[in-house]
Structure 1
Amino acid sequence: MVTEQEVEAVGQTLVDPQQPLQARFRALFTLRGLGGPVAIAWISRAFDDDSALLKHELAYCLGQMQDRRAIPMLLDVLRDTRQEPMVRHEAGEALGAIGDPEVLEILKQYSTDPVVESTQSPSVFLELPLWPGRCWDITTTWTQGGSAEGAGLRCGSALFRHEIGYVLGQMQQEAAVPQLAAALARPTESPMVRHECAEALGAIARPACLAALRAHVADPERVVRESCEVALDMYAHETGSTFQYADGLERLRSPLS
């Protein structure tokens, strides 16, 4: 049984900028797994952080939780033009993932947003057959034909390429590593695409991934170097003996482990 004090302690780790980014990510994914209003409140508090990568993942986790109590915060993020485009785009996707009809008109409104990442995210979800219980099977389209993975990372919008990187990470196939590493190394590529490629390499966790990630831990683009930092932590988890990445509670209960 998880106590309210333990949830609070995990939340404190998430919002503490003095904590290592890896620890904050593990805390975030722990809160996602716990769910409920207290977890949502702690995740929402972290949107004041100055890391676009962390805020992007906050929105992603709120969408995965599919709890309509997260809608007000996600709407605030989507509307806030001071937020980075990749954060606003993820807020739009999260709202679509929650799938509450009350946000439909707002998503329609932001499908014409002047920032392209914010425009495309609501548009994607407006085209879904709608909504709860449905799943958009992008993997079928993007991974047929063997070499489609690599081709996809060079075509379409930045959002499209970003989502391809995400899907390839979920598939965890070593065949995708050269294309992901090449996209990560391409300085002309959108930072939001490079970040997703880094996280995908961390999830695939093969030796070739390690070299690619280490090559960019000092990248001049903050979101890229932070993504590599987190991805190296994911790599360590995937190749280690720990049961789950979202181990905020375990670390709290066994601080010496």
Structure 2
Amino acid sequence: MFKIPPLEQLQACLGDPSQPIGARMRASYHLKQIFQLPTTSPDLQATIVSILTEQLPVKAHGKLMRHEFGYVLGQLKSPLSIPSLCASILDSTDDCICRHECAEALGAICSPSTPSPMLNLSLTTLQKSMSDPSNPIEVIETCQIALNFISWKLTTPTSETSAPMACACMLSSYDSSDPAPPHPSHSGMSVSDIGEIMRDESRELWERYRAMFSVRNKGGEGAAVELGRALVEDRSSALFRHEVAFVLGQLQRVEGLDYLVMSLERVDEHEFVRHESAEAIGAIEDDWERCEEVLKRFLNDEDKCVRQSCEVALDAADYFGLNVVVKEDGDEGLQGVGVVEGEGIFKFAGVKGTTISHLNIKEKSCGLKV
């Protein structure tokens, strides 16, 4: 089983940007797991949010790690993180990858139950950033998607957002908080028909996002192919393509591998599309020899974000591979990090979202070793 390291050790790891990025990634997900345990007190949850928000603006971590802090904060859905997220979004000197992730986090956090001052701050920040033409298009589009999502949550009856759905495309077996909900109108449609909506560049991005998550929830080989086509055929939005790559990582289907490799090999593609493609390749459960070869090939890529993503994907595979046993005294210079025993595959994109990949975090309250 996996043991979660002590909070003090996780905090120390994240407070040291010189620690290997794989160790810091795992520490951030340990904190997420602790936060979500039913026995975790509100005070401890507040402490965890504080640890993450303190590290969010520390540029020594690098943009890949800092964007991951934003992602985790969005998954925690704590209004306590809103001021820090807004500050990052409004910082025009910050990297667009970090600002995008923080804007997406606001979309995940804000709901009818969010305290009015925090909700108003979020809406004002998103509207201001969306309307500023000097912002990168990736930031503008993310703010628009987040505003669409918040508006949907504020105007859709609670019974419709929480009621059980009978159709596969309305059911999610993933533990991630998605930036858009599937659409009920997709319930009677085939995967290929929904895929046509998803790939239609004349449609609003919000509509295409909703189709994307309907396709993901349908699952199977057909879903992987539809998403793969969207990844390599789209020419309208790097934001859209990066989300498609992440969703392919959640599916963990080998049918998506060729598309992900093609995306990673495009050196003129936006770095956050390539980085997400690399991490998704690390999530594929079959044909691991090829996945490993591709990731190792890009370990020396000119783009640091891509290099680190390949490192993280390979690191996750090493730590969550078959029959892994890690002794208690030491990974990457950190002492007493716990023991991993037994069999299981649990790759990076699985850590970020899926609950059905041999290791179920929610049911087993397992930890990721640092």
One-letter code aligned to 2:147:
L
Instruction: Give the match's secondary structure for 1:240.
Output: coil
- 2:91 aligned residue (69, 76, 80): 80
Identity of aligned residues (%): 31
Q: Tell me the distance in 1 between the aligned counterparts of 2:336 and 2:23.
A: 14
User: What do you get for the CA RMSD once the two structures are aligned?
Assistant: 2.5
Please state if 1:130 is matched with 2:140.
no
The residue type equivalent to 2:127 in the other structure is K
Q: How far apart, in 2, do the equivalents of 1:229 and 1:198 lie?
A: 9
Return the match for 1:37 from 36, 39, 46: 46
Secondary structure of 1:81's partner?
coil
Matching of residue 199 in structure 1 with residue 218 in structure 2: no
Q: Where is the helix percentage greater, Structure 1 or Structure 2?
A: 1
Q: In the alignment, is the contact (CA less than 8 A) between 1:111 and 1:123 conserved in 2?
A: yes
Distance (whole Å) between structure 2 residues aligned to residue 211 and residue 70 of structure 1: 39
The runs of 5 or more residues in structure 2 that have no matched partner are: 36-44, 163-179, 183-211, 326-330, 341-370
Note the C-alpha offset of 1:235: 2.0
Query: Residue 149 of structure 1 aligns with which residue?
Result: 227
Structure 1 residues 69 and 194: alpha-carbon distance in aligned structure 2, compared to 1, 3 A threshold = same
State how far apart, in whole Å, the 1-side matches of 2:305 and 2:224 are.
30
Matching of residue 94 in structure 1 with residue 105 in structure 2: yes
The two structures have a TM-score, normalised by structure 1, of 0.87
Q: Which residue is equivalent to 1:26?
A: 26
Q: TM-score, normalised by structure 2?
A: 0.62
How many angstroms apart in 2 are the aligned matches of 1:12 and 1:254? 13
Which residue of the other structure, out of 123, 128, 131, is the alignment partner of 1:109?
A: 128
Once the two structures are superposed, what CA deviation does each residue of 1:82-104 show, in whole Å capped at 9, x if it has no partner?
Answer: 21001000000001100143322
Distance in 2 separating the partners of 1:164 and 1:239:
25
- Determine whether 1:139 maps to 2:220: no
Larger Rg: 2
Cα deviation code 1:6-29 (max 9, x no counterpart): 312201101212211111111011
Structure-2 change in CA distance of 1:37 and 1:148 (3 Å): same
Give the structure 2 partner of residue 12 of structure 1: 12
Q: Which amino acid aligns with 2:130?
A: S
User: C-alpha separation between the residues in 2 aligned to 1:8 and 1:160?
Assistant: 38
Check whether the contact 1:22–1:230 (CA below 8 A) recurs between aligned residues.
Answer: yes
Residue-pair matches, total: 247
Q: Does the aligned pair in 1 maintain the 2:224–2:248 contact within 8 Å? A: no
Picking from 299, 304, 320, the partner of 1:222 is 304
Question: Structure 1 98/242 Cα, relative in aligned 2: closer, same or farther at 3 Å?
Answer: farther
Say whether the 8 Å CA contact 1:198–1:213 is kept in structure 2. Answer: yes
Q: Is the 8 A contact 2:253 2:285 kept in 1?
A: no
Query: 1:120 maps to what in 2?
Result: 141
3-state SS, counterpart of residue 204 of structure 1 = coil
Q: Deviations over 1:115-146 (max 9, x none)?
A: 11110111012222126957513332477666
**Could you tell me whether the CA contact under 8 Å between 1:166 and 1:197 is conserved in 2?**
yes
Partner of 2:177: none
| Contact 1:183 1:194 survives alignment (8 Å) | yes
Please give the per-residue CA displacement for 1:132-190, whole angstroms capped at 9, x wherever unaligned. Answer: 95751333247766632222113130000000001000111111011101111110100
Q: Summarize the Cα distance change of 1:242–1:62 in structure 2 as closer, same or farther, 3 Å threshold.
A: farther
Match of residue 71, structure 1, among 82, 98, 110: 82
1:184 lines up with 2:264 in the alignment: yes
Unaligned runs of 5+ in 1: none
Aligned counterpart for 2:68 among listed residues 57, 63, 70: 57
| Equivalent residues of 1:202, 1:233 under 8 A apart | no
Cα distance in 2 for residues equivalent to 1:90 and 1:117:
10
Whichever residue aligns with residue 192 of structure 1, its letter is F
